A and B are shown apart, each in its own frame.
Chain A
Amino acid sequence: MRELWMLACLLLLLATTARAQLDIEALNTAYKAFDAGRRDGKGYSESPDSGSLGWGEGGVIASYAKMWEVTGDKYWLGKIRDHFRAIMATATDPDGDGFLSWQTATYSCAVAYAERLHNISDARIEPATQKNTNGKEAAKCSGHTYVIEFRDVSTAFNIIDLDTGETVAYLVPFEAGKPFAQIEPFAFSIAGEPKQGDRFLVRTYAPEGLEYTVHQGMFIYPVALFIEAVKKDPALQAEFGPDAETFLQFVNKHVFEKNEQDWLDMGESGGAYRFQPRITDRFPNRIMPHNQYGALARAWLVLKDVQGAHPLMAQRAEQMVRYFHTFLIHDEGKDAYNWSYWDWIEYGEPGRAFWEDTSHGTIDISLAVEAARRGVIFTDTDMQRLANTWLKVMWNQDTTAPMMAAAVDGREPYKFSPLIGDWTELSQWDRQVYDLALQAYMGHDEQNRTSWAPVILLCAKRAGVEPVPANP
């Protein structure tokens, strides 16, 4: 009896402490100030770079959606509106496909094709094809065509840029099989015994601005939440209705219809988006990693029941959720799920990547959460299993200094905070997710706590923790 009494007091103390720590009104005010000081309140909304919009602005605009859900303060709807207006303004159509979008060369590759010409010798150049996926290195690629020529002797060669006529390298000593790297950022070697007069041609393709579904998903998902909120509440029509409609029509055409071009139907497994068919894409036309199509699938889950949404949205959302669900692997011992970063089929054979990492996993979890909350494929059982992944597989079991593993299989090091966004939304199915998040939150100083306000507040709300009233 005494133990039960002490436990009850402890729980009450914890709850009171938690409630006292999460003063919604105070945090709301603090976060507004924090946001206003972040790049003059504009976040990365004015960037024309897709990567910056996805990974920079995406987190900012998502935080507004979180704060709206938690506080119901229209201020945050206004922020989403203002940011997306700026985002739309930078959309362009450089490839002429009739759809506006955003591009970045950050993840684009440099590609080189090398071949011998009609040479006297049988010497050959290798490799015939190469791709440099290192962004910084790839950016050095000129996109020009080069000739490697043994002009006067067979023991040394020159390299000529055919586009400019310039000699890039002069009398480079030749050694069979030895790599040379004067045509940046590539390395070639020549095998065999070249003769004077032999030539080899290298055609290069420089990185180009590509469009990424995952980036679009990162900022379109919060905009979808904005549209849904406005469309469902008559009280918001006057102030936000026209923008919501404009945003919906823009998203219908320039995001949904545009990505339909890259849709891949996988039958009973569902479906997902493919990468663009560009030579400088890392894997042109392959189905995307789960986090990449999942980022945008969340938006379709939100919008599918909104009046005016594209009629195919519901189907595509379901197909993508089903595709992800198909590849979850049940760890019966821990009653948890693990999954790969990427599953695909090529040449008719299945392929997969490494276990999903914690960082990309936030988007997968967000997809599952959104699907479960809207009754699409994911059940409470599924969500509990995902929570078990977090708590039984990935958590270091340290209640004082909780840290999370690098990947969903529990791979060390434990370098992630339990406060990491979207994983924290599993709190809806397991309170301990919130407890760990709160523990991490309380470990921050006041400024950092403010920056984490949207995450912890949403986590608390989803866990059913009562908010602190303004005037208790």
Chain B
Amino acid sequence: MSRHIAVLLTAALSCMPALAQLDVSALSEAYRAYDLGRNQGLGYADATDSAVLAWQEGGILKSYIDMWEVTRDVYWLDRVVEHFEMIASNATDPDGDGYLGWQTAEYSAGIAYAHRLHNVSAAEIGPAEQRIKVHERLGECTGHTYLIEFEVEPGQFRIRDWDTQEMVADAVTYDPAGTRVDQIAPFTFTLTGQTHQGDRFMVRTIAPQDVEHIAHEGMIIYPVARFIEAIRTTPALQARYGAKADAYLAFITRNVFEKNERHWVNIEPLGGAYRAGPWPTERAPNVMLPHNQSLSLGRAWLVLGSLEGVNPAIGERARQMAGLFHSLLMVDDAADACTWHYMDWLEYGEGLQTATEDTMHGHIDVGFAVEAARRGIVFTTRDMQRLANTWLKLMWNQDAERPRMAGRVDGTEPGKHPALLTSWTELAEWDPQVRTLARAAWAELDATEQARWAPTMLLCETRGSHPGNVTNP
């Protein structure tokens, strides 16, 4: 379908009464009922795993503050309170650094170090180090030390778990030309060279450890930051929520902001970002985080940084993150749109990048840009129009009736996602077509799914109705 016809059809659809008016009250009730049916209204707030809190509970928390923004019903503020107090009560400090947090081993790697001992022969084992990040057998990594030993003769070996003294494998035939050893799950080694009776090779493994992730903290904290902002900027809410907002701010300032200062890296004059922790089983310890991970928390700092009485360093970090991310956007002149990488980082003094950002992680990046633009921090209206053009000109399949969005921000992997996606739809504030496509996607949903997506759709409507209102959410 030509581009011009698509634009006209979209405009026509937007005039249809059934799509033009959303019954906020009915949808609010529908979402309330939907929410209460989710683990009896607890969502995933009772989880202790940070991955669950982030990717399951984080969206729920955001939906509450979005519903507050749309409806101004304090019920939704109460939901934030109930969930966050449960989440905060489960924060712990297992690493003894003096800061509370939430941990998961979900993204941790299994590590193995292999080396020969003082053997008679010159046979070698490789690789010296392995870091397995994703593997169906990653959960089998024991963290034990193993011995590959040629106990009886050079032509066969056994594998002993040194921690338990159990034989993992016995009488395995050895070929000096190269023998694959895969009995120490999930790792694979190769032994080469002529061995001698008595030769031994040691494999030390480290099992995936529970670590803290900035991205997860961002998913949890960002909606709470908006709660704090709502309370601080709405005098009528002070009596009921003021003390809680202050307490949450104090908790976040210490256990999230101050804690993560140790992971901060300045990339002046462009700005800065967070790095991964130094934990041995991190996938890439100390690397500059992918954009979505750093910006996940950056959104909270944008929100809190604009409040009076908040540690001014919070606002400064937000500005720096906006500056760095903005500097790494690549302009597509033809579409007047932006693309960017999933990850840009510096290592060994060199600039490195991954593939183009994908749509699912990209929603966090866009959400950051939206918050920045609404607060006049780095991102301009022009920038936001370009991001909207990314959504509409690079990623959209140009089908107004059944709009589908690409899997990546450069339009590759076409047709992978609906046009109703969290944070992407907030671009409606800068381009009404975003809202039109969201409505079309909405119309395809059944009642249950409409209830589920009500907060996203309603926020899209609300933001689309108040373009450029950056300081009064």
Contacts and interface: CB of A to CB of B under 8 A. Distances in A.
Chains A and B bind each other:
yes
B275 A197 contact: yes
Contact of B288 (A120, A145, A261, A286): A120
A286 B121 contact: no
B204 to A, nearest CB: 8
Contact of B278 (A162, A164, A266): A162
Contacts, number: 106
A95 B165 contact: yes
Given A264-B197, A265-B198, A162 B286 contact: no
Interface string B116-129: 01111110000000
Contacts of B347: 118-120
B343 to A, nearest CB: 11
Contacts of B264: 197
A265 B288 CA distance: 52
A196 B278 contact: no
Contact of A348 (B121, B162, B204, B265): B121
Nearest to A97: B165
A121 B288 CA distance: 12
B276 interface: yes
Contacts of A277: 117, 147, 149, 162, 200, 202
A342 to B, nearest CB: 12
A348 B262 contact: no
Interface string B140-154: 000000010101000
Classify chain B's interface size. Answer: 35 or more
A263 interface: yes
Given A98-B165, A284-B117, A118 B284 contact: yes
Given A120-B349, A121-B349, A285-B200, A197 B278 contact: no
A345 B198 CA distance: 12
Given A196-B265, A274-B198, A277-B200, A118 B118 contact: no
B122 A201 contact: no
Interface residues of A, number: 47
A188 to B, nearest CB: 16
Chain A interface main SS type: loop
Given A118-B276, A165-B97, A197 B120 contact: no
A85 interface: no
A162 B265 contact: no
Contact of A164 (B96, B147, B288): B96
25 contacts: A95-B165, A98-B165, A118-B287, A119-B348, A120-B265, A120-B288, A120-B346, A151-B262, A163-B96, A165-B95, A166-B96, A195-B265, A196-B265, A196-B266, A201-B285, A264-B120, A264-B198, A277-B162, A277-B202, A284-B117, A284-B202, A285-B198, A285-B199, A286-B117, A347-B121
Interface of A: 95-98, 113, 117-122, 145, 147, 149, 151, 160, 162-166, 195-199, 201, 203, 261, 263-266, 274-275, 277, 279, 283-287, 344-348
Interface of B: 93, 95-98, 113, 117-122, 147, 149, 151, 162, 164-165, 197-200, 202, 204, 262, 264-266, 275-276, 278-280, 284-288, 345-349
